[in-house]
């Protein structure tokens, strides 16, 4: 039997979002909210959910870390043979959700997904800790494996091959690991308000001039 979850009720009264407060474009608005988010310490502050769908329309979603955002979109790094990457090859569109719940905020981003260039992925790869680099080589992400020892054995083999220390030289980026950029076709900013009368604003590209954004308030 399900535990009773009905009594978890927050009062959404911490802030409000008005049309006049919004930046003209969603990435600037995201930056304003992100700066506010970063004013307080958060566990895994860069975490967001990315949703993909396969060619037959089956959706799936999982957390990833957003490593960069700018006018070109939002960048995440992953294994390029994983389920998400295979979905994006079949159906190159994704949705991101940033759930900044203790600020009673949610941001939704939707748009086309594209692979970063090898040079861009390399530039991020070299900033990763050596242990994470070894982990990327050791894990065929989303493959079925027999047990934990498979992972530990592969990690030991990779460590043996490349060396455990920085003095052993740089570890090259695996071909099946890289960055994916989600461009922004649409975005929505949600601010919780009392009595479920939340503030929601959606940015969509203007049909006549895609460099401009139409902003609409949505009913909660
Ligand atoms: C907080 C958090 C952050 C994560 N960050 C990443 C990430 O940046 N890249 C990644 O590939 N997986 C990340 N994962 C693991 C994914 O959620 C997922 O298990 C993995 O990418 C395989 O997903 P897939 O089989 O649907 O492709 C993260 C998980 C959590 C909980």
Q: Is residue 59 part of a domain?
A: yes
pLDDT at residue number 167: 95
Is residue 156, in this structure, part of any structural domain at all? Answer: no
| 77 CB near ligand 1 (under 6 Å) | yes
Q: How confident is the model at residue 79, as a pLDDT?
A: 97
Among the listed residues 13, 72, 34, 29, the one whose alpha carbon sits nearest the alpha carbon of residue 215 = 29
Does 7 fall in a domain?
no
* Residue 168 near residue 162, CB atoms below 8 Å: yes
Expressed as residue numbers, the domain containing 119 is 19-126+170-217
Domain membership of residue 147 (yes or no) is no
Domains in the chain, number = 1
CATH, residue 108: 2.30.110.10
∠ CA(126), CA(129), CA(134), 5° rounding?
90
Mean of the per-residue pLDDT values for the chain?
A: 97
Residue 208 included in any domain: yes
Q: How far are the Cα atoms of 36, 128, 197 from residue 67, in angstroms, in the given order?
A: 17, 11, 33
Burial class from Cβ neighbours inside 10 Å (0-12, 13-18, 19+) for residue 146 reads exposed
Ligand 1 within 6 A of CB of 177: no
For ligand 1, say whether the CB of 141 is within 6 Å of any of its atoms: yes
Is 130 tagged catalytic?
no
86 C-alpha to ligand 1 centroid (Å) = 14
pLDDT of residue 128: 97
* 176 occurs within a structural domain: yes
C-beta 59 within 6 A of ligand 1: no
Which of 63, 75, 140 most suits a substitution to test ligand 1, by most atoms within 8 Å of the C-beta?
63
109-161 pLDDT tens trace: 999 999 999 999 999 999 999 999 999 999 999 899 999 999 999 999 999 99
**What per-residue confidence (pLDDT) applies to 186?**
98
Task: Look at residue 1 in the predicted model and tell me its pLDDT.
Answer: 81
Choose one of 51, 62, 68 to mutate for the ligand 1 pocket test, by most ligand atoms within 8 angstroms of C-beta: 62
- Per-residue pLDDT of 48-95, as tens digits, reads 999 999 999 999 999 999 999 999 999 999 999 999 999 999 999 999
The closest residue, in CA terms, to atom 4 on ligand 1 is 64
The answer to whether residue 160 sits within a structural domain is: no
Indicate if ligand 1 lies below 6 Å from the C-beta of 63: yes
Residue 45 in any domain: the answer is yes
pLDDT confidence of residue 49: 99
Distance CA 124, CA 14 (A): 36
């Amino acid at each position: 039997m399900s535990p009773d979850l009905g009594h978890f009720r927050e009062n959404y009264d911490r802030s409000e979002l008005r049309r006049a407060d919004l930046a003209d474009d969603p990435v600037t608005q995201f930056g304003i909210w992100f700066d506010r988010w970063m004013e307080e310490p958060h566990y895994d502050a860069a975490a967001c959910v990315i949703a993909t769908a396969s060619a037959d329309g089956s959706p799936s979603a999982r957390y990833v870390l957003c490593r960069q955002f700018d006018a070109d979109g939002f960048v995440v790094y992953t294994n390029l043979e994983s389920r998400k990457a295979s979905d994006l090859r079949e159906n190159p569109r994704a949705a991101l959700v940033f759930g900044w719940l203790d600020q009673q905020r949610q941001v939704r981003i939707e748009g086309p997904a594209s692979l970063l260039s090898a040079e861009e992925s390399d530039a991020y790869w070299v900033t990763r800790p050596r242990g994470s680099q070894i982990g990327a080589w050791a894990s065929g992400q989303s493959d079925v494996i027999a047990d934990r020892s498979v992972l530990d054995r592969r990690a030991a083999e990779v460590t043996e091959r490349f060396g455990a220390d920085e003095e052993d030289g740089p570890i090259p980026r695996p071909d099946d690991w890289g960055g994916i950029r989600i461009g922004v076709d649409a975005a929505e900013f949600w601010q919780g308000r009392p009595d479920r009368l939340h503030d929601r604003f959606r940015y969509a590209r203007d049909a006549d001039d895609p460099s401009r954004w139409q902003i609409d308030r949505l009913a909660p």
